């Protein structure tokens, strides 16, 4: 799909009645699942590893996982039109004091989270509650789509930094100044990723959240976002300052609810 078609689609989805929009995206998910392309095969493999399911049970999980992923995209397209009241009303928090207590005292927090649920909705919630937040974004192609996502996240109040040599010192400074530093941290196959034990096999995860928390002398908190019937629920847990602690938290939450882990890429080194 061209960038222009993508952006036009983004605008059209916002004009559709809510129920119709979500039905269309579920149908798209079912179509993609039925095609059984490379991304679905990878998703199925990942779901098998984190759930230990097989046969029809694994197929049901895979189909529901791609539906969850398509719900994320429908949310993303429609979120700019949501009211502040709707954004805040449709969020449930579990153990949120590990995040909000330091913030309310003026101390920043580094939040490590996996690709689950809808992190943009979560960010919009905390920004709507008056907190400050910053994240990073890799430059994607095509450029028009990347710029649209950049503008979208900045419109909800997020500060978005690019991934370059100046990013780490800036994030440390933001953490010292009372920001939520939110970093997706369940996949890093680069040379800088650290090996961890993840569901009994070796994976690589980024060291950034731990490094920033150490340098800024702030807490590292894990967050897992899942869907309910009409909202998101966010689980929080204070982590120790090591990458394996991140992996253990992600594993415990994904094992509990794998369907909302939107991982259609390779995770484990031996895959």
Q: What percent helix, strand, coil does the chain show, rounded to 5?
A: 55, 20, 25
Confidence of residue 75 (pLDDT cuts 50, 70, 90): very high
What is the reported pLDDT for 162?
A: 78
The more confidently predicted of residues 143 and 216 is 216
Residue 237 located in a structural domain:
yes
Q: Whole-model pTM?
A: 0.93
pLDDT reading at 261 higher than 60:
yes
Residue 269 located in a structural domain:
no
What is the reported pLDDT for 141?
A: 66
What is the residue whose two structure tokens read 């036009």?
A: 8
What is the reported pLDDT for 140?
A: 64
What is the tens place of the pLDDT at every residue in 32-42? 999 999 999 99
Confidence of residue 26 (pLDDT cuts 50, 70, 90): very high
Residue 146 located in a structural domain:
yes
Find the largest Cα–Cα distance for the chain: 51
Domain total of the chain: 1
Residue 265 located in a structural domain:
no
Residue 184 located in a structural domain:
yes
What is the reported pLDDT for 164?
A: 67
**Cβ contact 133:127 at 8 Å:** yes
- Rounded CA-CA distance 242/246 in Å is 7
Domain limits at 45?
A: 3-260
What is the reported pLDDT for 138?
A: 73
What is the tens place of the pLDDT at every residue in 94-131? 999 999 999 999 999 999 999 999 999 999 999 999 99
Question: CA dihedral in degrees (111, 116, 118, 123; nearest 10)?
Answer: 0
Residue 207 located in a structural domain:
yes
Q: Where would I find the H helices in 107-262?
A: 119-128, 143-155, 167-176, 208-216, 243-256
Residue 266 located in a structural domain:
no
Angle at which helices 119-128 and 143-155 cross, to 10°:
30
Residue 271 located in a structural domain:
no
What stretch of H or E contains 219?
Answer: strand 219-227
pLDDT reading at 2 higher than 80:
no
């Amino acid at each position: 799909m061209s960038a222009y078609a993508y952006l036009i689609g983004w605008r059209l989805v916002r004009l559709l009645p809510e129920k119709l929009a979500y039905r269309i995206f579920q149908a798209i998910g079912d179509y993609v699942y039925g095609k059984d392309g490379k991304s679905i095969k990878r998703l199925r493999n990942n779901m098998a590893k984190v759930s230990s399911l097989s046969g029809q049970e694994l197929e049901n999980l895979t189909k529901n996982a791609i539906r969850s992923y398509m719900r994320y995209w429908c949310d993303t397209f429609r979120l700019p039109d949501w009211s502040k009241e709707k954004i805040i009303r449709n969020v449930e928090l579990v153990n949120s004091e590990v995040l909000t207590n330091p913030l309310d005292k003026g101390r920043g927090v580094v939040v490590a989270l996996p690709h689950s649920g809808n992190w943009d909705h979560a960010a919009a919630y905390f920004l709507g509650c008056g907190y400050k937040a910053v994240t990073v974004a890799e430059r994607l192609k095509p450029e028009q789509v990347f710029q649209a996502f950049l503008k979208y996240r900045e419109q909800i109040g997020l500060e978005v930094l690019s991934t370059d040599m100046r990013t780490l010192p800036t994030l440390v400074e933001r953490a010292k100044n009372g920001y939520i530093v939110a970093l997706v941290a369940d996949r890093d196959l680069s040379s800088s990723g650290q090996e961890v034990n993840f569901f009994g096999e070796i994976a690589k995860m980024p060291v950034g959240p731990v490094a920033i928390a150490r340098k800024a002398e702030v807490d590292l908190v894990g967050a897992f976002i899942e869907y309910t019937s009409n909202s998101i629920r966010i689980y929080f847990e204070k982590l120790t300052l090591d990458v394996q602690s991140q992996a253990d938290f992600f594993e415990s939450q994904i094992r509990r609810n794998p369907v909302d882990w939107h991982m259609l890429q390779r995770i484990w080194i031996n895959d």
